[in-house]
Structure 1
Amino acid sequence: MTSLDLPASEAARPGRAARLYRAAWRWHFYAGLFVVPFFLILAVTGLMMLWIAHLDGRDGERIPVTPQSHTASLNLQAAVASTALMGGETVQYIAPRAEGLAAIFRVDGPGGPVMVAVDPHEAQIVAVHPRRSGWYDWADEVHGSLMLGVFGDRVIEIAASLGIMLLASGLYLWWPRGSSLRRALIPSVRARGRALWKQLHASTGIWISAILLFFLISGLSWAGIWGGRMMQAWSTFPAEKWDAPLSDATHASLNHGPKEVPWALEQTPMPASGSAAGAPGLAEGEAVGIDNIDALARRIGFEGRYQMNLPRGETGVWTLSRDSMSTDSSDPTADRTVHIDRHTGRILADVRFEDYALAGKAMAVGIALHMGTLGLWSVLANTVFCLAVIFLCLSGVVLWWKRRPAGQWRLAAPPMPADMPLWKGAIAVGLIIGIAFPLAGLTFAAVLILDALVLPFLPRLRRVLA
């Protein structure tokens, strides 16, 4: 490293401040080395999902039909949908978002689930496709787990956790030293070469830093360790509020592949049918069937698109839901989930946004912002953000390429300064991140062990990584 790699104020003061700067730069480099490939994957797949959902929908919901004055019964529509799969059983109904659009039914069979688009007026099948088989679903699986299941989920969680450290070290590197804040925020038009790339990288990073932190935290809340076992566990809606027997199944059983159930309910046990519990729903003597359940849904406030999961087994329940995460609406504060006894038609549970705990409310809004389901403005805003993340990743690679030693096959990481002073602030930040995000802490420990106990005995590998 030369003095040209440091801000002028640091190069002129080669003492403690310069050593701290070099140490922060080294950690920023190594964190970026791991994070950049995954951030690129997340940004690209995020863009794919964003625009596919906005333009085409995720389950055939935008298939057009000819509007008519009459509508066939849902019972007939469901029966027609079940014929799309030999031995199939209709398990879910998704109401049309508006007039002139097909109704969607999920049908399960020996060959797996399919989504069936039905003309609600003519009760005729207009399209059939395997469930979760489109480009949106491919991008969603890559985005969430790299198509590697639990292992991929853990890798993404590590990358997101280290991304927080990348932000902290990047902020330290960016912080104006001997120059104005305005100059640090706005790149100089006179800069050229690596200096220009450095300014563009730094200023872009600082402009989106708060938004990136939000995306990392909201994404981590869906991850298996920090989200599922830490945050979600103590923020789950308490099923004890319901005056109804509980099933052994949780709301997560309604997830069929990607996340579909609101975050605050996913770990909550489902109510069970077969008791006299609940509030009045269907009138006494009224048949408990799909048409009357749909009519009840409309009476109690479900408008436009909503989802109806049909009961499975003797203790199963009818589940009505409408939430922004599933693009049913663009208002997360209107989230609602209702469970109805399959035998009596009584309402066993009615959970709304205001019933969530504070973390559940934050996640309902946060997921909608993260997914860009709040309307066109959020789609455009998320697009700009994803493009900025892609630029940060690529500009970071360009900066490394421009400073690497020509003709040498090694990473050329910024060297750790000798006689490093105790950096209490950095230690505190590392401990906070490591404790708050366990996989990041384990990664920190692994890197320190590798650097202190392994690499000294492997000089060739140490040179490649240096």
Structure 2
Amino acid sequence: MTVFTPGATPSEAPSRLNSFYFTAWRWHFYAGLYVVPFLLMLAVTGALMVWFTAIDSEYGDRIAVTPTAQAQSVSAQIAAAEAAHPGSHADKYIAPRDAETPAIVRVQEGETARMLAVDPYSAAVLADRTETGTWNEWLTNLHGELLWGGNGGPGDTLVEIAASLGVMMLTSGLYLAWPRGGKSWRAVLVPDLAAKGRSFWKSLHLSSGVWAALFLGFFLLTGMSWTGVWGGKIVQPWSSFPAAKWDAVPLSDATHAAMNHTAQEEVPWVLELTPLPASGSQAGVQLLPMGTPVTFETVMAGARALGFDARVQVSAPADKTGVWTLSRDSQSYDSPNPTTDRTVHIDQYTGRILADVRYDDYPLMGKMMAVGIALHEGQLGLWSVALNLAICATLALSTIAGVVLWWKRRPTGAGRLAAPPRVPEAPLWKGGLVVAALVALAFPLGGAVIVAVLLLDALVLRHVPALKRVLS
């Protein structure tokens, strides 16, 4: 986040400045070589995803409808959706957000799932499209997996490495930005718009980088919750809701993750690895009166009786042992308040409640992730949408300013990267080494890359002068 002092040459600067500063600068620079393209991609795709989820819904659930005295029954709304595609069957009903927006019905037509927006008052179909193939799904795949290999695949791994090294770049950048030599915090936090040339880009990179850093660590950690190694192998398994809390309830071999049908993770993160309960026993607490048919209509009535208001999702059983599921959570854009998350499973034969999971039942990490993911995705209302867009813009500005700054600093025609100089015989920086070790241990893929780079430097680069010069 900084450069040489004006007039200093690479040979003079190390003798006049703190050697730790130059060590941090080198870490920042080399981490940035890999991380910067990813940060730009994440900032742009993140901003677009916020647009498509919070402002321009692709399924039509924000189309305005005119309320009348009497709404159509849930059964009538579902029948209208199925009639639009003869031979199809509905497997999900999403109640309207409010009195002036439509319901959403998902129907299965052969191998294709379609999402239909239905006017709850007239049962007219207002919008109709496939569940997959949306811009938001495409952006989600690019944002997290580079459209390459799915979760745990090559793209996911590259993004996780970038996020891990991003933590290293973040910590080194904050060290570099810390006011020293009589500099005030104002010079750090407010860009000098009157500066010219390299000084302007330095000030812009410094200030925008510090502001972005206030949120970047949080965004990197919450984003990595879905990655293949840090999220899938380390954090999520020991943070998941324990199915053992469901006393004497038969469990399915399927987990809640089976309820995710697109790249847009809809099942609460804390429940994804938790087994689903199974229908076919007398377990649970009676919800629907004995003998009542368990249908979309009656289950939706049961949802209202349980206190679910406004938008709630009703999912039909997937097979003969599956369950009806009621869900309302911010991750599915049902509510701007993650602390009201609730998932209820109902036996398809008896109408009995097999499981009722609320935010208060989540383990501590699950609660933190429920709130963190909602903030990460701009689901807490318009203020969080505005905050997310501002962070994405600031992050993009900082990375672009950093690239321009490097371009202006590099010697013309040098034929090398023009990395910050190594300080000859610099003392061991114990504090920096501890931070690097902690990052490497906390984020295994990032740690593996750091070790690999150190080995490459020791075994190859030092012995190939031409290559060493290009990378210096």
The aligned counterpart of 2:55 is 55
With 132-141 and 364-373 compared, the bigger mean Cα shift is at 132-141
Alignment of 1:228-307 (within 5 A): 228-243=232-247, 244-257=249-262, 258-307=264-313
Cα displacement string for residues 241-270 of structure 1 (whole angstroms, at most 9, x for unaligned residues): 113110101110111122111111111100
Q: Tell me by how many angstroms 1:58 deviates.
A: 4.4
Q: Tell me by how many angstroms 1:368 deviates.
A: 1.0
Q: Tell me by how many angstroms 1:169 deviates.
A: 0.8
The answer on whether the counterparts of 2:106 and 2:114 sit within 8 Å (CA) in structure 1 is yes
The aligned counterpart of 1:117 is 117
Q: Tell me by how many angstroms 1:87 deviates.
A: 4.0
1:224 equivalenced with 2:224 (yes/no)? no
The aligned counterpart of 1:73 is 73
CA distance in 1, matches of 2:14, 2:158: 39
Cα displacement string for residues 344-396 of structure 1 (whole angstroms, at most 9, x for unaligned residues): 00111111010001111111111111111111111111111111000111001
The aligned counterpart of 1:157 is 160
Q: Tell me by how many angstroms 1:89 deviates.
A: 2.7
Cα displacement string for residues 203-230 of structure 1 (whole angstroms, at most 9, x for unaligned residues): 2222332311111111112222111211
The answer on whether the counterparts of 1:96 and 1:103 sit within 8 Å (CA) in structure 2 is yes
Alignment of 1:443-462 (within 5 A): 443-462=449-468
The aligned counterpart of 1:195 is 199
The aligned counterpart of 1:4 is 5
The aligned counterpart of 2:404 is 398
The answer on whether the counterparts of 2:14 and 2:421 sit within 8 Å (CA) in structure 1 is no
CA distance in 2, matches of 1:300, 1:376: 28
Cα displacement string for residues 124-183 of structure 1 (whole angstroms, at most 9, x for unaligned residues): 323211113222222222111111122211111111111110011111211222214323
- Output the TM-score relative to the length of structure 2: 0.93
The answer on whether the counterparts of 1:7 and 1:177 sit within 8 Å (CA) in structure 2 is no
The aligned counterpart of 1:14 is 15
Change (3 A) 1:190 1:61: closer
CA distance in 2, matches of 1:22, 1:289: 67
User: For residue 226 of structure 2, what is the amino acid of its counterpart?
Assistant: W
CA distance in 1, matches of 2:424, 2:59: 58
CA distance in 2, matches of 1:415, 1:342: 68
Change (3 A) 1:307 1:64: same
Q: Percent identity?
A: 52
The answer on whether the counterparts of 1:174 and 1:184 sit within 8 Å (CA) in structure 2 is yes
Consecutive unaligned residues of structure 1, counting only runs of 5 or more, are none
The aligned counterpart of 2:175 is 172
The aligned counterpart of 1:96 is 96
CA distance in 1, matches of 2:66, 2:195: 59
Alignment of 1:240-389 (within 5 A): 240-243=244-247, 244-257=249-262, 258-389=264-395
1:206 equivalenced with 2:207 (yes/no)? no
CA distance in 2, matches of 1:389, 1:425: 27
The answer on whether the counterparts of 1:65 and 1:102 sit within 8 Å (CA) in structure 2 is yes
The answer on whether the counterparts of 1:160 and 1:216 sit within 8 Å (CA) in structure 2 is yes
Change (3 A) 1:166 1:5: farther
User: For residue 254 of structure 1, what is the amino acid of its counterpart?
Assistant: M
CA distance in 2, matches of 1:86, 1:141: 32
The answer on whether the counterparts of 1:220 and 1:227 sit within 8 Å (CA) in structure 2 is yes
Change (3 A) 1:64 1:2: closer
Change (3 A) 1:202 1:294: same
The answer on whether the counterparts of 2:284 and 2:354 sit within 8 Å (CA) in structure 1 is yes
Cα displacement string for residues 412-449 of structure 1 (whole angstroms, at most 9, x for unaligned residues): 21232222321111111111000000011011011112
SS at match of 1:211: helix
Q: Tell me by how many angstroms 1:192 deviates.
A: 2.5
CA distance in 1, matches of 2:140, 2:227: 14
CA distance in 1, matches of 2:8, 2:462: 31
With 34-43 and 449-458 compared, the bigger mean Cα shift is at 449-458
SS at match of 1:320: strand
CA distance in 2, matches of 1:116, 1:455: 59
With 232-241 and 113-122 compared, the bigger mean Cα shift is at 113-122
Name the count of aligned residue pairs: 464
User: For residue 4 of structure 1, what is the amino acid of its counterpart?
Assistant: T
Change (3 A) 1:3 1:232: closer
With 298-307 and 456-465 compared, the bigger mean Cα shift is at 456-465
Consecutive unaligned residues of structure 2, counting only runs of 5 or more, are none
Q: Tell me by how many angstroms 1:12 deviates.
A: 7.8
Q: Tell me by how many angstroms 1:231 deviates.
A: 1.0
CA distance in 2, matches of 1:56, 1:234: 36
